Each structure stands twice: as structure tokens, then as C-alpha cells.
Structure 1
Amino acid sequence: MSRGAGTAVGVLLILTGLVWAGQGLGLIGGSFMTGQTRWLVIGLAVASVGAALLAFVRRRGG
């Protein structure tokens, strides 16, 4: 995976995870996910994977 693609996927995962976590906390309404603790946990996990991917891509330098 190229550095640009890895960065794009990492940022997308972080943003998606934060939206899901926000819905799980009830901060973002209008979804079946709103107020569901399960989506908070899933969102934080997805955002963490995105952050790890960004760190990996930056360290690898490729």
C-alpha cells in the first residue's frame, strides 16, 4: 500500500470510528446506532485501527 493510500484509509477509519462513537454516546442522533454502547466500543476500535495504520505508514516511510 502506498503512503498516500495508507494515509487516506487511516484518516477514513478514524473519521468513521469517531462518528460511530459519537452515535454510540448519543451525541449524533438520527440512527439506529444512537445511544447504543456497542457502537461506542466499535467506533473506538475502528478509530484505533485507523490511528495504528497512520502510525505504521508514517514509520515505514514508503
Structure 2
Amino acid sequence: MAEKALLGFGLLLIVAGLIWAAQGSGFFPYPAKSFMIYPRPWIVGGALTAACGMALLLWSRRY
């Protein structure tokens, strides 16, 4: 059961991180008046979040 929770949380982190990185880079400017569009820290934070999600995903596959 724990492996399914890690898998789900890992996938959620990957999706959220990719959205944050896309908003920070301007590839996903939604909503148009968001504070997350174009600031560079969101690219780095999103990439780190997605990397943590990938680590959880890989860790869940070990069980």
C-alpha cells in the first residue's frame, strides 16, 4: 500500500513541478495575471520539485 502512495505522490510532484517550470519560463502562461509567469525562481523550483517526484517514483518501484 505504501508503494502506491509513493507512486501517486511522486506523479503529483512531477506534474506540479513541470507546470511550475513551464509557468516560470512563460511556456504555460495560465492564468494570464499569475505572479508565477516569467520569474526565474519558479523554473528552478519546478525542476527541483519534478526531480523529487521522479526520485519518489523510482523509490516506489523498488518495493
Q: TM-score, normalised by structure 2?
A: 0.90
Q: Residue in 1 aligned with 2:14?
A: 14
What TM-score does the superposition give when structure 1 sets the normalisation length? 0.91
Identity of aligned residues (%): 43
Aligned length in residues: 60
Gaps of 5+ in 1: none
Deviation at 1:2, TM superposition (A): 0.6
Partners in 1 of 2:52 and 2:2 — Cα distance?
Answer: 17
| Offset, 1:28 | 1.1
| Structure 2, unaligned runs of 5 or more | none
Regions of 4+ moved over 4 Å: none
* 2:56 corresponding residue in structure 1: 53
